[in-house]
Amino acid sequence: MAIREVREIGDDILTKQCKEVTKMTMRTQILIEDMLDTMYEKFGVGLAAPQVGVLKKIVVIDVGDGPVVLINPEVVETSGEQTGEEGCLSVPGKYGIVTRPNHVKVRFLNEEMEETELEGEGLLARAFCHEIDHLSGKLYVELAEDGIHDVEYEDAGEEYAGDDGEE
């Protein structure tokens, strides 16, 4: 298990275009494992490779139904609309109100590099859009309708905004 440093807003790498993954290598497998470890450690629902400093089109998501790994993902269909709070591990302690499609279909390669499609609604649809945006250097803050706000924590000492986890 390895936790990688999460890059934060202001870091240039978060604004860059990511490259397609053309084959699965040991290095890429380790990256994916580390991305999952890092996402769970930080209590995120999704993480994109540029957030750990790697400009590859790889996303991991877990909205509570188990991990999903998406390689070279693209949104192929959207419908409906949802408006709600969105946050990002690269913008710690903040949230914004963002409108996204409520239903999203994505096409991607799985870890066996097989073409796969998946449909999501609600939070999963939001996570697809948010994470795929990271791969073209976009952060949700550009879409936030009413600016960026501080998260008010109910419990003091919440780890969420902390800086722990480096090894």
The residues that touch Ni ion, with contacts defined as CB under 5 A, are 88
143, 82 Cβ separation under 8 angstroms? no
58, 69 Cβ separation under 8 angstroms? yes
Considering beta carbons, is residue 88 or 98 the nearer one to Ni ion?
Answer: 88
131 is an active site residue: yes
Task: Give me the residue label for tokens 């109100």.
Answer: 97
Minimum distance of Ni ion from residue 51's CB (angstroms): 6
Minimum distance of Ni ion from residue 77's CB (angstroms): 22
Q: What type of residue sits at position 13?
A: I
The active-site residue out of 5, 112, 131, 166 is 131
61, 68 Cβ separation under 8 angstroms? yes
Minimum distance of Ni ion from residue 23's CB (angstroms): 26
Beta bridge partners of 101: none
Per-residue tokens: 86: 């969105």
What distance in Å separates the CA atoms of residue 67 and residue 79, rounded to the nearest whole number? 24
148, 141 Cβ separation under 8 angstroms? yes
- What amino acid positions are annotated as catalytic residues? 131
